[in-house]
Structure 1
Amino acid sequence: MGRPSKRPVVNGDDEPGRKPTPASLTHPISPPLKKRRLAAQTEDEQTEHEKTSKDSVQQSRIFQSPFRLTKIRDLPPEMNKDTVTLRDILGDPLISECWEFNYLHDIDFLMGAFDQDVRHLVKVHVVHGFWKREDPSRLELQEMASRYPNVTLHNAYLPEMFGTHHSKMMILLRHDETAQIVIHTANMIVRDWTNMTQAVWLSPRLPLITPPQQGTVRTEGRIGSGAKFKVDFLNYLRAYDARRTTCKPIIEQLDRYDFSAIRGSLIASVPGRHKFSYATPTRWGWAAMEQTLQTVPVSQQSEIAIQISSIATLGPTDTWLKDTFFRALSRGQRAGMQSPPDFKVVFPTADEIRKSLDGYASGGSIHTKIQSPQQVKQLQYLKPMLYHWANDSADGAELKDDAVVKEAGRKRAAPHIKSYIRYGNKSDQSIDWALVTSANLSKQAWGEAIGSATGEIRISSYEIGVLVWPALYAEDATMRATFMTDSLAEVEEGKSAVALRMPYNLPLQLYGKGEVPWVATASHLEPDWMGQVWRHE
């Protein structure tokens, strides 16, 4: 690939009026013999130190959180430790090509995150779901894109009437011949990257396969491996080409890269009717979750927290929720008999929206309905499972007297993140597995069985996420919750541990008797902390 246009700075030679450094001063000079011997001795000592450090690492290894939170603009630095911004992701001048997949797009905002010296050179592909030619959102997107000759728009094929292109992802190709996959939870709009809680999974930098493996048979690999991730990821991209060529160019490029450094399982959804068998290379929706979790060790007594920004219409009874979705999430490798996990659904109330940094404005991104008779019945079976986002409600259920609240630093940053976490030992916040995804709690996202005899399921939307668990990092590893940091302070000697950055406080607080979820389609006349009210016409 071509060299980046941005020239590296050497000894401040870009300063106006300053003469360039003479070339003679940059030539390597061999030190005298005595100094060379001392340098060699120091190098030997350093090698021995590295060997000792490596031995120590083998005895006790700590891995940083695979998921990172985004920076919150209006929170202090101590609550933004280890966070990431869009500019952190896209601001490297070595980026040569970007494929951006999302539901909502602000192309001016996207382009502003690239390095200013090369943003006009980066090949940018924007994949959206506005398939109707007269759709105002599509027309607006076209108008914005027309100002950037290096931006190409692609509309995703959507065969299902109620489906959306909801995936949130970027694929980055770089001038140093590496690639990176970024899977996250934020729309590509300013509001989502400023004061709302979001999460990001960044793959390692993926190198080219050397030598190229042309004509060779590729094995799928075990679940959780980079090889399996690659198969599933490329199959996900191929779904866009069902009716027209959209992702073929990036598929052909990514096929040349080595995914072996990736730890995680791709959990994605593509619209359509799907029938799975043992020979199916990639499953979608809840079937993908079920297949993966069957290989994941889980605890005897545990609970699963489903934290989302939208709850769709699931039906007047809990049939789909318990018999399909919860059943899939309950899978796992167990030692002996085990009771089913408890389920908790984390969702904000109107009071939590009022107190959020953006007040009622943040509520426009958070959705459920409780008005119709069917929705009222749904609330009745969900209510015993509903827990607060901020965990400080005066009307919520009281925590146990001995409960120690661990602060995540995000209770005022309204949740747009979607996280699914299985907790094992409740006393130390140990974790069996964790998923960050674009998928909310809905049949459209996860899939609905349409034929029990045939095993066929129907999915309406594009979704994408990554599932991780401790055994991916080391055979004896544990995963533990961390708060306001991506790192664990310590780990038992001789053990391995993986940090998981928490987006909400623990322990969770159950809704009080009279509390209900935030509803964006209702009017809320009690002013938020900025004095605004929410009127729904």
Structure 2
Amino acid sequence: MSQDSQHGKWTVSSSDDDDGELPPSGTSASQPNPPAVPSESSIRSASPPGPKQEPEEPSVEFKPEQDNTPVTSLAIGSEARRSAAMSQLNPVKYENTPSLAGKRKMEVSESSGWALSDSDDDEDVKGKSLANPPKKAPPSPKTKKAKVTNERPPSPHGRVYYIDEPEDFFESSIPCSNDPFRFYLNKVTGLDRKYNTGALHIRDILSPLFGTLKESVQFNYCFDIPWMVQQYPPEFRDRPVLIVHGDKREAKARLLQQAKPFPHVRFCQAKLEITFGTHHTKMMLLWYEEGFRVIILTSNLIRADWYQKSQGMWMSPLFPRLPKGSSETAGESPTFFKRDLLEYLASYKAPELEEWIERIKEHDLSETRVYLVGSTPGRYVGSDMERWGHLRLRKLLYDHTDPVPDEERWPVIGQFSSIGSMGLDKTKWLTGEFQRTMTTLGKSSLRPDPPMHLLYPSVDDVRTSLEGYPAGGSLPYSIQTAQKQLWLHSYFHRWKADTTGRSHAMPHIKTYMRVSPDFTKLAWFLVTSANLSKAAWGALEKNNTQLMVRSYELGVLYVPSAFNMKTFTVQRNPFPVSPSSSSGFPVPFDLPPTGYSPKDQPWIWNIPYSQAPDTHGNIWVPS
């Protein structure tokens, strides 16, 4: 089916997904059996890539790839991520003509349009490639040696070379001790060193500088177990780790297979009983000899998410152990963080988490100044509706924020990396339900309709990023969903972070906030795993008497009253980080946001882009 719009002409598959949400890894309502890892004969023909010329980086060097991780990125994560892995494995060079893309797709996108293959024809092409692969040039010796079943995560820079992090990249450092917010960005390979000051890598988080680790729990959506184990320092590398995941069937089997060489790794499967739900929470529980710590973050446990993506995290203080004989209510914070964390863990109904629930009860979490905002799958009525999802956020904003002058002029800004189906018009969920939550400020009866700016990368943002087009593999907005909600795109704003120096790392971070009209003050700020979707935030049903939530999500809410403030001051020019720069809140993008121009298109992962090369000279031809 073809459709003309402000974003050009699309050719849309007939196999549209009604919900628009990505199913959990390894499961799908419309695709019961996920694609198997392709054999070499089914991978598209391409010239063997050589090392590419990068912008001058004196601290960066090329290093030959070593296949030493027994897991393939081609089987990890969503279909969009697997397509990105394929693109990185065999990049398609820009040739000033779209002919190569045309061989893979029925219709090549016009300069301002989108295109999508017919699903039946696409399946036919795949089938033919397996049974009767097309003739192609003999691969180079290095390509022959490559084993798809024994891959290190593929490099965005081609088949043979990785860009190594600078020598000082993994030097652990403890963040500023006077930082009241404890909100941090991740380190990004390829940026000037000053833009990584104050940022943390996963190796920093697990460093002995933060405590003598005894055990840990990793809650997440995507896992590369061998890579994850390597991020623990050698002295902690055999300490027990519990993996909390939502994988089923083939994806679960792959996950268990990854962990076979690591007997200290155990698993806890989260129950996902509502279609299209995912276990999307990203949290670490770290138990030390000295105490206990919680990390709530936006990164998956795969190398790509800690390489050249923009991510965020909240790191708790080190919580000390309570004296023996303390009451059950001891160690609670003014934000009731301890109670809410225990309630969230109890929602899994998992025996594997019981010992962790008991450990948390034995620690003093009273220093916590943030509120926990979680989602767990289910249908909730009555007072339970305010325990989870966006109604949980609405309740917290109602109880713990105050109205501000000219409230109707304070915009809401949302930043996310994936978008679900929200209906045929904005009133179905976005403004009729979600915006009401986002605009709640205290007990004011005023229900203003302030501007809502939604930050989502354009095609050009992705194309010019450090990773180039493959960065779009972690932005799984599909053509099937996009073509049903053209109205949404008028809300979109560019991913622009020029003054922070981090604009070229594609965002996987998810943040939401309310900001003053001059963009100097914040009424509140939330960092979370939740993308812009009903599955993540919940949707009202039965004449608004029931909230249905599909997924597990987790985030932390900052409100000024918890820090004895009226509003937060937006921190300008946060890099390089210094003790004097921690007085304001470090918003992770430039303000004010820049709206899309008439020529801008939101990134859609499952259509080709062949009109212009990315930063590595390649085009995008999704598998």
Fold conserved between structures, TM > 0.5: yes
Pairing 1:106-185 to 2, within 5 Å after superposition: 106-120=224-238, 122-132=239-249, 135=250, 137-176=251-290, 178-185=291-298
Partner letter of residue 429 of structure 2? W
Separation (CA, whole Å) in 1 of partners of 2:235 and 2:323: 31
Any conservation in 2 of the 1:480–1:498 contact (CA below 8 Å)?
Answer: no
Q: Which residue of 2 aligns with 1:443?
A: 534
- Using structure 2 for the length normalisation, give the TM-score: 0.67
Separation (CA, whole Å) in 2 of partners of 1:91 and 1:281: 39
Partner letter of residue 518 of structure 2? S
**Alignment partner of 1:523: what SS?**
coil
**Alignment partner of 1:500: what SS?**
coil
User: C-alpha offsets along residues 15-57 of structure 1, whole Å, 9 cap, x if unaligned?
Assistant: xxxxxxxxxxxxxxxxxxxxxxxxxxxxxxxxxxxxxxxxxxx
Any conservation in 2 of the 1:275–1:457 contact (CA below 8 Å)?
Answer: yes
Residues 211 and 487 of structure 1: CA distance in aligned 2, closer, same or farther (over 3 Å): farther
Any conservation in 1 of the 2:311–2:507 contact (CA below 8 Å)?
Answer: yes
Q: Which residue of 2 aligns with 1:233?
A: 341
- 1:365 paired with 2:474, answer yes
Pairing 1:389-408 to 2, within 5 Å after superposition: 389-390=495-496, 407-408=499-500
1:248 counterpart (354, 368, 375) = 354
Separation (CA, whole Å) in 2 of partners of 1:317 and 1:500: 34
Query: Runs of 5+ in structure 1 lacking a partner?
Result: 1-60, 392-405, 492-496
**Alignment partner of 1:206: what SS?**
coil
Partner letter of residue 603 of structure 2? W
Residues 428 and 158 of structure 1: CA distance in aligned 2, closer, same or farther (over 3 Å): closer
Q: Which residue of 1 aligns with 2:547?
A: 457
TM superposition shift of 1:118: 2.8
TM superposition shift of 1:227: 5.7
Separation (CA, whole Å) in 1 of partners of 2:309 and 2:584: 22
Any conservation in 1 of the 2:519–2:592 contact (CA below 8 Å)?
Answer: no
Q: Which residue of 2 aligns with 1:312?
A: 420
Partner letter of residue 95 of structure 1? L
Q: Which residue of 2 aligns with 1:268?
A: 374
Separation (CA, whole Å) in 2 of partners of 1:504 and 1:327: 24
Any conservation in 2 of the 1:64–1:488 contact (CA below 8 Å)?
Answer: no
**Alignment partner of 1:153: what SS?**
strand
CA RMSD of aligned residues (A): 2.4
Residues 477 and 313 of structure 1: CA distance in aligned 2, closer, same or farther (over 3 Å): closer
Q: Which residue of 1 aligns with 2:192?
A: 76
Residues 508 and 184 of structure 1: CA distance in aligned 2, closer, same or farther (over 3 Å): same
Would you say how many aligned residue pairs link Structure 1 and Structure 2? 439
Q: Which residue of 2 aligns with 1:100?
A: 218
**Alignment partner of 1:240: what SS?**
coil
Any conservation in 2 of the 1:269–1:464 contact (CA below 8 Å)?
Answer: yes
Any conservation in 1 of the 2:375–2:551 contact (CA below 8 Å)?
Answer: yes
Q: Which residue of 2 aligns with 1:259?
A: 365
Residues 360 and 105 of structure 1: CA distance in aligned 2, closer, same or farther (over 3 Å): same
Separation (CA, whole Å) in 2 of partners of 1:452 and 1:428: 37
Separation (CA, whole Å) in 1 of partners of 2:359 and 2:385: 21
Q: Which residue of 1 aligns with 2:392?
A: 288
Residues 448 and 478 of structure 1: CA distance in aligned 2, closer, same or farther (over 3 Å): closer
Q: Which residue of 1 aligns with 2:61?
A: none
Q: Which residue of 1 aligns with 2:511?
A: 419
Q: Which has the larger radius of gyration?
A: 1
**Alignment partner of 1:481: what SS?**
coil
Q: Which residue of 1 aligns with 2:300?
A: 187
Separation (CA, whole Å) in 1 of partners of 2:477 and 2:548: 22
Pairing 1:30-45 to 2, within 5 Å after superposition: none
Separation (CA, whole Å) in 2 of partners of 1:298 and 1:181: 31
Residues 443 and 220 of structure 1: CA distance in aligned 2, closer, same or farther (over 3 Å): farther
- Using structure 1 for the length normalisation, give the TM-score: 0.77
Separation (CA, whole Å) in 2 of partners of 1:486 and 1:62: 16
Any conservation in 2 of the 1:232–1:281 contact (CA below 8 Å)?
Answer: no
Pairing 1:471-510 to 2, within 5 Å after superposition: 471-476=561-566, 478-485=568-575, 498-510=583-595
Q: Which residue of 1 aligns with 2:434?
A: 325
Percent of counterpart pairs with the same letter?
31
Separation (CA, whole Å) in 1 of partners of 2:335 and 2:480: 47
TM superposition shift of 1:469: 1.9
Q: Which residue of 2 aligns with 1:531?
A: 617
Any conservation in 1 of the 2:460–2:600 contact (CA below 8 Å)?
Answer: no
**Alignment partner of 1:231: what SS?**
helix
